[in-house]
Amino acid sequence: MALRKHKIVTIIGGGLSGLTSALLLNRAGFEVTLVEKKTYPFHRVCGEYISNEIVPFLQTLDIKPSDFYASSINRLAISSVSGETYSTGLDLGGFGISRYIFDEFLFLKAKTEGVNCIQGVKVNELTFRDNIFETLLADGTTLRSDFVVSAHGKRSNLDRQRSFFHHKSPYLGVKYHIKTDFPIDLVQLDNFEGGYCGTVKIEHDRYNLCYLSQTYLLKKHGTLNELEEEVLFKNPFLKERFLNADFLNEKPEVINEISFEKKPLVENHILYCGDAAGMISPLCGNGMAMAIHSAKILSQSIIEHCGNRQALEASYEIKWNNLFKNRLLIGRVSQQLFGSRSISKLAVKGLNMVPRLSQLIIKRTHGHPF
């Protein structure tokens, strides 16, 4: 189709989905402005494991994981709270890479290719009238555009008007980067009472250590250190890992109120993408791939239907639900098997008795290479 330079898109949020959308829409001839409230490079709370289903698409963007010294992951291990284990191979596999490295690379790539990038500025207000969006930034700038893609991540002040925002979420996420003695090809999920923790190698000699915990545990124990020592350390694998690791950051990255509830994909003609559209349980290890894939299908819908807003929104919702609706549902169900001493023990025992069950869960929460 003909290029549409007259069509303007504002993208809020410079994570994986926002940056991917910016690259694709800019290449299709749209005038794209991307707004990120932080300044690159910076850390995010994320498990930093990406399914290999995304590799063919990255190649279309001239991106190879090996360029970042990303790890290659082909094994999975799960431990119960008391230390029983299950392990299996990952047929499709994946790779580990930090958001600190990957997001900045995509940002610089988008900027080089002509995307107007604004960083270090927060979006204060977003309005739609007379078929035009006005995005008010904290520095007083107002951006006018035909479309707005809101890819602001797990939680934002922009969510205050959305229905799920006022439903309290019981989860918080904590991420460290560490150096440790751990297999380079393994992603491990270790249960503790009230949550679970993932460990995976990222680039160079670094590892990601990221856990999801019920918020009440932090309130009960007062500090993260106390929470870790009193709760996480009851899993022998986690105790050994925390006590023998070299922690590389001054303090961990922490995010509160992580919501796995259903979220509208389109509200007041704002197009939501990535975690802002729906977040899969972290234990499924597919959030990063889903964020990028959702950006691809949203960008396709904008490109194909930019002259018909109703058709655009319908197209995006159909594509997104076909790809992700069931994955998120299975992720929510699977999460109930984790974070409990008794249930995690039964889950690990069941996986050892019926190994095909884990492959079924992996298959149903991941997609095909695209």
Element (H, E) at 149: strand 147-150
d(CA 97, CA 281): 19
Distance CA 357, CA 354 (A): 6
pLDDT at 343: 87
- The encoded tokens of residue 105 equal 């690379």
Question: Distance between CA 129 and CA 147 in Å, rounded?
Answer: 12
- Tell me the pLDDT tens digit for each residue of 220-268: 999 999 999 999 999 999 999 999 999 999 899 999 878 777 889 999 9
For the four alpha carbons of 54, 185, 90 and 362, in that order, the dihedral sign comes to negative
pLDDT at 1: 38
pLDDT for position 3 = 44
Contact 52, 185 (CB under 8 A): no
What three-state secondary structure class fits 146? coil
Query: Residue 155: what pLDDT?
Result: 66
**Cis peptide bond upstream of 41, omega within 30:** yes
Please identify every stretch of the chain with a pLDDT value under 50, giving residue numbers as ranges. Answer: 1-4
pLDDT value for 283: 62
Pairing of strands 142-145, 132-137: antiparallel
Beta bridge partners of 136: 125, 142
Query: How far from chain centre, in Å, is Cα 162?
Result: 20
Domains of the chain in start order, with CATH, are: 8-167+258-365 (3.50.50.60)
* Cβ atoms 190, 239 nearer than 8 A: no
* Cα gap 345→339, rounded to integer Å: 10
CA end-to-end span of the chain, whole Å? 22
Q: Can you list the alpha helix ranges (DSSP code H) found in the chain? A: 16-27, 55-60, 99-112, 215-221, 224-230, 236-244, 287-305, 309-320, 326-335, 341-353, 356-365
DSSP 314: H
Predicted local confidence at residue 265, as pLDDT: 95
